[in-house]
């Protein structure tokens, strides 16, 4: 699978926060890079709906540490959920 194909596949998944924390599938996701700006890797993407990406309860709205506290999760778990979603959807 090419990097472009992988990125397209991420955009087909539901938001992993909506799916795992709220029990619903929300599509129309943004591909969030798991690392900080200096570690950007298109193979480490997390599908997040606009709210959970940039909204008030999102990773950019709350900043990373606040997001992890609010949702009781971490980067490793978000990537694991992404891998699980890739195998299910």
Q: How many folded domains does the chain comprise?
A: 1
> Does 39 reside within a domain?
no
Can you give the pLDDT at residue 39? 74
Can you give the pLDDT at residue 81? 98
In angstroms, the Cα distances linking 61 to 55, 56, 85 are 5, 5, 24
Can you give the pLDDT at residue 36? 74
pLDDT in tens, 8-63: 999 999 999 999 999 999 999 999 999 776 778 899 999 999 999 999 999 999 99
Owning domain of residue 58 = 3-34+50-88
> Does 67 reside within a domain?
yes
Can you give the pLDDT at residue 22? 98
> Does 80 reside within a domain?
yes
For 56-84, what is the mean pLDDT?
97
> Does 42 reside within a domain?
no
């Amino acid at each position: 699978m090419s990097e472009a194909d992988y990125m397209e596949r991420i955009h087909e998944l539901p938001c992993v926060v909506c799916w795992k924390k709220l029990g619903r599938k929300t599509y129309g996701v943004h591909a969030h890079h798991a690392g900080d700006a200096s570690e950007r890797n298109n193979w480490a993407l997390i599908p997040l709906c606009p709210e959970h990406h940039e909204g008030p309860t999102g990773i950019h709205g709350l900043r990373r540490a606040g997001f992890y506290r609010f949702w009781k999760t971490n980067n490793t778990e978000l990537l694991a959920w992404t891998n699980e979603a890739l195998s299910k959807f």
